Structure 1
Amino acid sequence: MADSDHNVLEQSQIWNHIKAKQDGNVYRITTKQSYNEAFFALGKKAMLDQIASEIVKKNQK
């Protein structure tokens, strides 16, 4: 999750060794919206819908 183009994890030495990153299976989600909404059922559903949409979009390319 990220709020900007700079993420602490992406700046770490292990980032390029993570298999999901190597395989192109990392999906960025803005934390502001997700963090606040994920406490409630509708927020969780919205987050899952967003993730599913990103996966479908990637697979259509």
Structure 2
Amino acid sequence: PFWGLDAGIVEQANGRRSYAVRPVTPQNLTEQQKIADAFFAEKLLPRRIDALDVALFKPEA
């Protein structure tokens, strides 16, 4: 298994995942930053990523 994860764990995580389209919140970006930091620490990313350094879509009211 990739990253040494048991297939059952991956299936369980994917079963809890939602693919619904929703607005991005600051909490979402905080969670993404934690993941990016962990990937960088494990050398899965070549450089640090800033999750707040993105252009967010803001629909007109």
TM-score interval, smaller chain: 0.3 to 0.5
Determine which structure has greater relative contact order: mean sequence separation of CA pairs < 8 Å that are 6+ residues apart, divided by chain length.
1
| Structure with the largest fraction of helix | 1
Give TM-score scaled by structure 2 length.
0.34
Give TM-score scaled by structure 1 length.
0.34
Give the number of the structure whose alpha-carbon radius of gyration is greater. 2
